Amino acid sequence: MNNCERFGVSEEQLRALVAEGLKAGGDWCDLYFEDTAYRSLLLRDGEVGSGGYHVDFGCGIRVLKGEKTGYAYAETTDFASLRSAARAAGSIAAAASPHGGQPSGRSRGTAIKSDAAGVDFYPELRSWEQAETAGFVAFLQRIDAGIRARDSRVLKVIATLSYSVSNVMMYNSLGELTSDHRPLGSLSVQVIFRQGDRTENNSVSRSLRMGAEMISDEVLEDLVSRAVEGMDARFEAKRPKGGQMSVVMGAGASGILLHEAMGHAFEADFNRKGQSVFCEKMGRRICRPGINILDDGTLPASRGACNVDDEGVPGQKTYMVTDGILTSYLHDRISAAYYGVAPTGNGRRESFRYNPIPRMRATYMESGPDGTKEDLIASVRKGIYVDQFANGQVKIGEGDFTFFVKSGFLIEDGRLTMPVKDINIIGNGPEALADIRAVAGDLKVDEGTWTCGKEQSVAVSCGIPSVLIGKLTVGGE
């Protein structure tokens, strides 16, 4: 079945809908068809006792006039409903003031053909839909049994498998017709431990854009081992005395620092509106030489991978910081036209219910020249080493970011000493970036279930090598 058949529309109708959308004077129209099936299984108290299956189907229609957006969607794809949505979206043309600038359709970019164009970064080698659900049930039970076998303190295990397959089709006023098939599997495990009269918890996850081949012994062992890892330290952990101190961020999940502290401020919509702390710093040095920060849609099977973004622009790597210099923002077609550059494949959305906006994909920093994690720790007299995180947040205008540390250690005279947990760390993005003192050579991209919540929820990934930041504020008592 081709996608026009899947969505019950003809190419002639696609053209007619775009024409309807532009009738009131818009300069760009695009259509986003989506058919998503989402399934979940939940293990609790040793049994897979609940599950779900959810279907989401529809088409979003966007009309632009300059930088102004009109958006509407229909949950059916009969032509009358779609035409009504196109008309509603097209009303932006009447609402927009004449001051918004009116780039032609062409200036929004046929996006440059990236090297990656035509490559499938997430083939579904084993179909989720056709795989036996009973096998998934058994897999969750093996996770439960494996965790209980490794640590006698385990009291409760909750394990969730969720997977979705989205088929999307996009058409725009340049006549570009693009399709993508997007599998996504996620496993999450939460464990409650009891030691004496004390209770502690741990949670781990793994999320990959791939088919049911994800259900493997390697993934099982990874989740089981990480679920029980470090629990001795967790039971001993205390809150440190709060205040400003050096922070060594462990490789991998510490990439949340990049996502929150810098990544959002690189998104072009915040810069176009003058809100970002980086809005007038293009081409200027923002951190020490040798540091490269990029947002990458081309990592195979990554949660942040995009064959094409949700505007039909090919997946690609975008260097925002090259050798310490700010070299690019993250663009959708609106900001690309505004800045007169090619879109970078960052126009993403939660579903057909939302208009695309600049979003990150897999954001990470390349490895640096400063040795190993141990070298960084050894260089700190008093500070903190952090390696597990729960969430983060940023205030775009101020650049103030926070991230919540689930576990780490105090560093005293170059050695890890007291375990710490459940502390928030706060800093300022540009200041923290400029205060990176050392970057180790151990880049790791984390494969947890990271979801960015900027207006809409979008799957992302993040990574970083171990880095030393001179001074951040650590919460404590």
Partner 1 sequence: MITDKELNFVREALETARRCGAQKARATLSKSEEDLVATLDGEVDRVTHCADRSLSLALFVDGRFGSYSTNKLEPEALEAFIVKAVEATRVIAEDPCRDLPDPARCCRDALTGNELGLVDPERGGVTPAERQRIALEASAFPVATPPEYKIVSEEGEYSDSIYETVVMDTNGVCCRHSETSFDYGVEITVESGGEKYSGYWWDASSDHRALDAPACGRRALERAVGQIGSAPVESGRYTAVIDAEMASKVVSPLLRALSGYAIQQNSSFLMDSVGKRLFPDGLTILDVPRTPGQTCSKYFDSEGVATVEAPVIERGVVKEYFINTYMANKMQLAPTIEDATRPKVLPWPRAGLNCEAILRECGSGILVTDFNGGNSNPVTGDFSYGIEGYLFEQGRIVRPVSGMLMTGNFLKLWSRLLFAGDDARPCQTKLVPTLAFSEVDFSG
By beta-carbon proximity to partner 1, the closer residue of 358 and 465 is: 358
Identify the residue among 9, 18, 48, 253 touching partner 1 (CB under 8 A): 48
- In 3D, which of 425, 129, 103 has the Cα closest to residue 256? 425
Q: Is 134 in the site for partner 1 (CB under 8 A)?
A: yes
| Alpha helical stretches, state H, 211-285 | 217-228, 231-236, 256-257, 264-266, 268-272
DSSP output for 259-295: IIIIIHHHBHHHHHTT-STTTT-TTSB-S-TT--EEE
Q: What single DSSP character describes residue 261?
A: I
Contact criterion met (CB below 8 Å) for 208 and 183: no
The whole-angstrom separation of Cα 427 and Cα 360 is 21
The kind and range of the H/E element at 78 are: none
CA distance 184 to 206: 11
Q: Least Å distance between CB 338 and partner 1? A: 12
| Binding status of residue 350 toward partner 1 by CB under 8 A | no
Instruction: Identify residues 157-216 at the interface with partner 1 (CB under 8 A).
Output: 158, 190, 192, 194, 199-201
68 or 209: whose CB is closer to partner 1?
Answer: 68
- Interface with partner 1, residue 391, by CB under 8 A: yes
Selected range binding partner 1 among 207-215, 217-225, 272-280, 359-367, rule: CB under 8 A? 272-280
- Report the distance separating Cα 75 and Cα 177, nearest Å: 20
Instruction: Using the rule CB under 8 A, give the single segment among 117-125, 267-275, 304-312, 444-452 that binds partner 1.
Output: 267-275
Question: Is residue 430 part of the contact set for partner 1 (CB under 8 A)?
Answer: no
197 or 217: CB nearest partner 1:
197
Can you read off the two tokens belonging to residue 303?
Answer: 């949660």
Q: Are 174 and 208 in contact (CB under 8 A)?
A: no
Task: Show the tokens assigned to 82.
Answer: 């779609």
Candidate residues 73, 122, 329, 385; the one interacting with partner 1 per rule CB under 8 A: 73
Pair of tokens at residue 206: 């793994």
Single out the residue of 6, 83, 156, 437 in contact with partner 1 (rule: CB under 8 A). Answer: 156
Only segment of 49-57, 164-172, 181-189, 211-219 that touches partner 1 (CB under 8 A): 49-57
Specify whether the CB–CB gap between 38 and 166 falls below 8 A. Answer: no
Of 240-259, binders to partner 1 (CB under 8 A) are 242-244
Bridge-based pairing state of the strands 177-195 and 154-172 = antiparallel
Task: Compute the distance between CA of residue 231 and CA of residue 227 in angstroms, rounded to an integer.
Answer: 9
Q: How far is the CB of 63 from partner 1 (least distance, A)?
A: 9
Q: Which of 274, 283, 289, 340 binds partner 1 (CB under 8 A)?
A: 274
Per CB under 8 A, which region of 85-93, 107-115, 166-174, 438-446 contacts partner 1? Answer: 85-93
Residue 328 lies near partner 1 (rule: CB under 8 A)? no
CA 392, CA 71: separation in Å to the nearest integer?
A: 30
Among the listed ranges 43-51, 106-114, 211-219, 411-419, the one in contact with partner 1 (CB under 8 A) is 43-51
Asked if 69 touches partner 1 (CB under 8 A), the answer is yes
**What are the b/e assignments for 95-110, b being 16+ CB within 10 Å?**
ebeeeeebbebeebbe
The verdict on 426 binding partner 1 (CB under 8 A) reads: yes
> Under the criterion CB under 8 A, does residue 281 sit at the interface with partner 1?
no
Contacting range for partner 1; rule: CB under 8 A; set: 16-24, 40-48, 167-175, 338-346: 40-48
> Under the criterion CB under 8 A, does residue 395 sit at the interface with partner 1?
yes
Distance CA 419, CA 35 (A): 47
Interface residue with partner 1 among 398, 415, 453, 457 (CB under 8 A) is 398
